[in-house]
Amino acid sequence: MVVPLNERKEQILKAVVINYIITAEPVGSRTVARSHRMDLSSATIRNEMADLEEMGYLIQPHTSAGRVPTQLGYRYYVDNLIDIDDLSADDEMAISSSLSTEKMREIEQIINNSARVLSSATNQTSLVMGPQFQKSAFQHLRILPLDDKRSLVVLITDTGFIKNKVIEMQQQLSPSELHQVVSYLNQKLYGLTIDQVTTSLINELKRDLFRRLEILEQAFILLEESLMEEKQIRVFLGGTTNILNQPEFKDVDKVRRMLNLFEQEPLLFKILEDASSEDDIVVRIGAENEYEDIKECTLITGTYKIHDKTSGIVGVLGPTRMDYSRVISVMRRLVDYLNQNLSS
């Protein structure tokens, strides 16, 4: 469907894209002519650019201006022309030091820190989603009596989540009864993902145990509730102010819409999940995004894994005029890091 361009057109398109990414100004034929390895006059370039415009890869903001890449132009660039360089030594240093210096035991800290690193290395806004509790596998359940009435239910997953909840029970259980119940539950639930712990499964377990221990009813209700509650997932943002540096957001109204979006976590989660793919970095340019508010933006996403299982998503959001090459290499680096460090 996409007609491949001839070599010269490709070079010109690439030059326009790269130049525009840097300057944010429409790129004229002279500029392209002067650019690296381009032994052609501006007139020739002008003709080619007119062709590229007709084909939909470039556009002129007004008659006497240079050209700007269209969404299609960026797409062709990303698919066929982009050079993804390794990170410079400086960048590499900066990134690995800010990833490792902080003592990051807790998973939340790692995620939060990742968002910071990603945004500062790309000068864009970053979105980082933690491991999905839903997809984590059940590992331990413990019930810990606190006093006459209250107990603490603790739930631990393979991805390192520790969820807890204080529950109230009418009667005290004897230690042995408690032990019995808890080991039964652990046996039944071990290895299941949280998604798989459905209401019907819980009901079934409840029936089994009910005959023996009526007291636990409330514990079950609360367990169930707490599982439901966790549907919403935290998305960590980094560098939200970076969008203000982009000239395409000099309009206060656009900024408002954007920041408004940032306040809606569940929506961010959906956007990230819809955009991402299991095992590759995905680039969504402009209207390729389904959500109205980011139709003038590019969203680049990557996924990381814990124990070889897809687990969380990292994203970078900015104007379509974005340094694709840099963002992609930084993201690769970060995903590698997360893959390695979250599994241990």
Write down the least CB distance from residue 154 to a copy of itself, Å. 6
Is the Cβ of residue 93 or residue 152 nearer to a copy of itself in the bound state?
Answer: 152
Query: Cβ 233 to a copy of itself, closest distance in Å?
Result: 14
Q: How far apart are CA 34 and CA 50, in angstroms?
A: 18
Binding to a copy of itself (CB under 8 A) within 109-168 occurs at 140, 142, 144, 146, 152, 154, 156, 162, 164, 166
Does position 199 interact with a copy of itself (CB under 8 A)? The reply is no
65 to 104: interface string for DNA, x by CB under 7 A: xxx-------------------------------------
Binding mask 9-48 for DNA (x = CB under 7 A): ----------------xx-xxxx-------xxxxxx-xx-
Choose one: 17-25, 92-100, 250-258, 296-304; the region binding a copy of itself (CB under 8 A).
250-258
Handedness of CA 169, 171, 173, 177 (dihedral sign): negative
Q: How many residues touch a copy of itself (CB under 8 A)?
A: 24
Q: Cα(306)–Cα(111) distance, rounded to whole angstroms?
A: 13
Query: In the set 137, 255, 267, 282, which binds a copy of itself (CB under 8 A)?
Result: 255
Q: Which residues bind a copy of itself (CB under 8 A)?
A: 106, 140, 142, 144, 146, 152, 154, 156, 162, 164, 166, 229, 239-241, 244-245, 250, 252, 255-256, 259-260, 263
Q: Which residues bind DNA (CB under 7 A)?
A: 25-26, 28-31, 39-44, 46-47, 49-50, 53, 60-67
